[in-house]
Chains A and B, each alone.
Chain A
Amino acid sequence: MTWSQISTQPWMLWRRQVAAILRLELKKSLFSKRAWWIYILTLGPVVMTGMHSLFSRNGGHTMGEDNMIFAGIFQLYFLRLGIFFGCLGIFSNLFRAEVLERTLHYYFMSPVRREVLAVSKYLAGLIAAVTYFVGSVVLSFIFMSAHWGPVFQQYLFHGPGLHQLGWYALTAALACVGYGSVFMLTGVLYRNPMIPAAVVFIWENLNPFLPSLLKKFSVIFYLKSLCPVGDIPDDGPLAFLASMTEPTPAWLAIPGLLIVSALILAYAAAKSRKLEVSYSE
């Protein structure tokens, strides 16, 4: 597509259509009975860290240890489980849930390009996922060390705390971007997205054991590179099988992840043009 073709596209119309679809979709993505288990995934660590804050009261450990524990929670829970499965639930249902509720045809009977519809739905899912998981990460980070009182405030506002929190939030948001695009695609391509999701889950968790080249074809590889607090020993008893790879610098990991996500999303959007409405099947 040439620049002159791009500039003659009806961007104004698409912008209005995206806004209209977002209005309808956000209600569904943010507040849905079907998403109860996603609320549990997001609230779980907040409740746990909140309880830690209430009951541990500075006894027997240091704030540095709390930071390391949070880094572990972030890498092992948020990145590998919470955000992964949360995005699976949110993004693979963007089209599937409407097929189950028999309402997808209303969108398909509107004069809107399927690509615009797919991107709008993705954006709605992304806003919901980022709200849930970045919110959960920020609250968990604060609750984890809040009981340190002035020491924590000093660490947060005059030390590296805010910087670390920013990176955690950014990494969580990028995880939503990356996994969101992957699960949007599986939701468009497969009637039952659980099987491809299982394959992606295994692939992502095999990441430490893969050769350096293959490691780069996963979302978790780039996300781990962005985590602000060092290496968490997450390879368990099979750690001796893990291969060492230089982490990707942030200036490469962030655009890399965004570009790969954009490509996957573009493919999903193109595939959505071929979707049919057939509720009886």
Chain B
Amino acid sequence: MTAPRILFDNVSRFYGEVLGVNRVNLAIQPGITSLVGPNGSGKTTLMNLMAGLIRPSRGEIRVLGIPPDRPEELFRKMGYCTQVDAFPKGLTGYQFVYSFLLVHGMIESEAAKLTDEALRRVSMTEAANRPVAAYSKGMRQRIKLAQAIAHRPTVLILDEPLNGLDPMARAETIDLFKQWGEEGRHVIVSSHILHEVDRISDQVILLSHGYVVAEGQIQGVRSEVKDQPMQILVRCDKPGLLASRLFEQDHVVEAKVNEDGKGLLVRTRDADNLYLLLNRIVLDNGLEVEAVAPADDDVNSVYQYLIGGEGGTT
């Protein structure tokens, strides 16, 4: 049996004549999925489509088998923390979370229990009885997160959830995402902080100008980028010798000795062949190899290869 998924079948969304997303086909598995792309690439549009806040101009979406135009079913399983920094007036943090749990139809004792639990998870228990209007940006972000997770959803959509959080809160929140991902939930995160996305994602979806340019596990996506030679870092005691042997191969494009003289950065069009060759060179020449690791199979590199420009804050 396949795991329940989030499916986009040839989905397009236009805002008048402006393209939101176009011809999106996706099957998102449980775990942490990051949406990566520059501003205006369609990340929020994709999330809003999943949540049924907007409707596709074409195509079909199913979230765990539920069409997003049935919020009464969808939001029993989904929580969405949007980027919108606005709250109903006159509520404290506690009332904000609690009131919307009552809107779910919960009885008061159950809503109170889940509110306490959610506030504890985002470390907002102490500030819970202060008005939301008096919160800092980071606290507002956390209370939104509490509201999104309070009903224990299996699909969690988080639009730039780390915005405004201090490093400590950011680390705690990332741990929370990891925990949810490991529990088999769908956690869909958009973030421009690429090194953090890289640390937590099981898979990434790269978007540019409304199109999905790549999706899957980041290493898999990187290996599909054939026109950009792979970069492999080899830490060894004789980098000069290694470089001279590697240059005999056609697929090796560049080999650059590290400034400390103890390593070599190799660019190759055939990584598999390079690894085999490396074994042979090591055996033939008695090299001492400390480490061999890909240097550009992270989100930031893939982002720059596929989309170009700055990959965001790192």
Contact = CB atoms under 8 A, between A and B. Distances in A.
Interface of A: 13-14, 16-17, 19-21, 23-24, 27-28, 101-103, 105-114, 273-274, 276-279, 281
Given A28-B89, A105-B84, A279-B84, A110 B104 contact: yes
B87 interface: yes
Contact of A273 (B69, B73, B107): B69
Given A20-B102, A103-B88, A281 B15 contact: yes
B262 to A, nearest CB: 53
A234 B259 CA distance: 95
Contact of B88 (A16, A106, A278): A106
**For A16, A20, A21, A112, which residue has the most chain B Cβ atoms within 10 angstroms?**
A20
B103 A107 contact: yes
Interface of B: 15, 48, 51-55, 69, 71-76, 78-80, 82, 84, 86-90, 99-100, 102-107, 147
Nearest to B79: A109
B51 A17 contact: no
A111 B74 contact: yes
Nearest to A33: B89
B82 A105 contact: yes
A277 B89 contact: no
Contacts of B55: 274, 276
A281 B54 CA distance: 12
A278 to B, nearest CB: 6
A174 B83 CA distance: 42
Contacts of B52: 108
Contacts of A274: 55
Contacts of B100: 106, 110
Given A101-B89, A277-B48, A277-B53, A17 B103 contact: yes
Given A105-B53, A105-B84, A109-B80, A21 B89 contact: no
Contact of B72 (A19, A113, A277): A113
A105 B72 CA distance: 14
